[in-house]
Amino acid sequence: MKPDVLDHPAVQLGEWLQKKRRERGIVARVFAGRIDLSPAEYAEVESGIIHWVGEKQEMRMPLLLGLNDEEVTEFNAMVSSARRASQLEFTDVFSENELAPARCCTADGKQIDEDRRKAIIKAVFTPLNRDA
């Protein structure tokens, strides 16, 4: 994660959600499905990209996490703060260098070439489209 976004309210919200989810022993993939997000979308939320969080998710998250009144108040304040801040996109949070495949092989065990490595990076940084 890029150091300049670590203090962003949306990143702090994502880290808080991840902590609460893990404390309760809920698998991210299962949690994502229950709040009507794909696992990839929810992974972005935990990274600080909150444009996937709508009213439905905002209502379901506290219920599914079993948050107490104090935690619900904290959650609501964090969501409000994250929404008031500038929206983060995937490229704001991650760099190509961070996510570049260090070692990647083809099915027959050969190292991928530079064109394939670039294609993977391009695919990783292509924004998710909820309508697709």
Domain layout of the chain by residue ranges: 3-91, 95-124
* CATH 1.10.260.40, applies to 3-91: yes
| This prediction's pTM | 0.79
Distance CA 90, CA 119 (A): 17
Distance CA 97, CA 125 (A): 11
The Cα angle at residue 76 between residues 72 and 79, in degrees rounded to 5: 135
Q: What is the pLDDT of residues 18-61, one digit of tens each?
A: 999 999 999 999 999 999 999 999 999 999 999 999 999 999 99
Confidence of residue 4 (pLDDT cuts 50, 70, 90): confident
CA distances in angstroms from 73 to 58, 62, 69, 70, 106, listed in the order given: 12, 10, 6, 5, 49
